Every structure is written in C-alpha cells, then in structure tokens.
Amino acid sequence: MEKETGRIEGFSDGVFAIAITLLVLDLHVPEKDTIKNGSDLLIFLKNQWPVFMAFILSFFSIFIMWVNHHKIFKQIYSRNSAITFANGLILFLVSAVSYPTSLLAQYFDGEASSVVVAIYTGIFVLINLSYNLLWYLASKNKELLRPGITDQAIRKIHNNYLYGLPIYVIALLFSFWIPTVSLIFILGLWIFWAVSSGKIEMHLKVVKKDLI
C-alpha cells in the first residue's frame, strides 16, 4: 500500500517550523543606551524571566506536538477530506500558540496572570482535542492506516491522546486559582508525551516485527 500523506506531512512540517520560529520574536535585546555595565544587563535579564519561561514552555510544547504529529502520520497511510481538515485544525491552533505565549511573557508576573495562563492552557486543551479528532477520524476506517496495524495498537494510540485531555483541563482550572501550578502541569505533560509516545513506538515495532 502506497503512502498518500506525503504532501500533508511536508506542509505540516513547514507550519510547525514557522510556529516554533515565531516564538523567538518575544526575546528582545535591551537598548544599548539603557545598559551601562554588566550589572545593568544582569538586572535586565533577571526581569525578563517570564519571557524566557514562556519561550521554553512553548518551544518544547510545539516540539513535542511535532514529534507526536510525525508519529501519528507514520500510522496514517491514506487521506480523505475529514483527515485533511482535522490536520488543518491542528496547524491552525499550533500557528496561534505564539500569541498566548506573548501574553504569558508580558503579563504572567502581574495581576492578569490567571487570565493569561487560562488563555495559554486553553489553547493546549483545544490542540489536544484536535489530535484526538484526527486519530478518531483516521482510525474509524482501518483501511486508511498502516497495513498490519492491530486493534490493540490503535487503542494504545487513542488512549495516549485521550489521557492527556483531563490533565490539560485540570491545568486550565488551576490557572484561575494558582497559575504557577497550571504551568507545572504543562511541564509534566512534556514528560508524559515523551515517555508514552516512546513506549507506543516500541510496541508498534514489536508488533510489526511479529507480523513479518
């Protein structure tokens, strides 16, 4: 069976690359006439910690989303209109991450912190839903998937994306009371996605080997 998703994957890689590059626009060098010595520069950098935090959080979040996008399309061999538009929804939301990142960078250490963290975590809830939608649309017709993929493997991938949803929702709820805890949940999800996606890939390799 010939893979038909090459153009979708190539276009998606370009969008992910642009989205992750846009994040660096929030990193600013101080005006030369405002810095008299090394102490002034260190004070400036210290005061920029919300900007660095937002950049790091969003960079690795988009990177892990790209890794999972790559893994999911290793299992999708054919496409239809529903898959194309579901993937478009993912790209739309990923390209929008830079805006809540900017809000987080500017307002996290102020009185609006709960609002900006809610907006920030909210977009990741939507992204998680869009990944679940993509896999649901692809997996409900097994003919669209990699030849030989088992029902167990399909369920594992489905559960992998589904398990992340309540964590994102909890992070969103915490943002209204303890914004810092909300961001810690986001950080914890990096580890979750990295570990779980690695386990799934190992499982799929074992299954594929058994089928040969």
| CA–CA separation, 115 and 104 (whole Å) | 9
Task: Read off the pTM.
Answer: 0.87
| CA–CA separation, 129 and 193 (whole Å) | 15
Q: In this predicted structure, what is the pLDDT of residue 192?
A: 74
- Is residue 114 a contact partner of residue 176, using CB atoms and an 8 Å limit? yes
pLDDT digits (tens, 9 = 90+) for 143-172: 999 988 888 889 888 888 888 888 889 999
User: Looking at 60-64, 67-71, 204-208, which range is the least confident one?
Assistant: 204-208
- One DSSP character per residue, 143-191 reads GGBPTT--HHHHHHHHHHHHHHHHHHHHHHHHTTT-HHHHHHHHHHHHH
Query: Residue 122: pLDDT above 50?
Result: yes
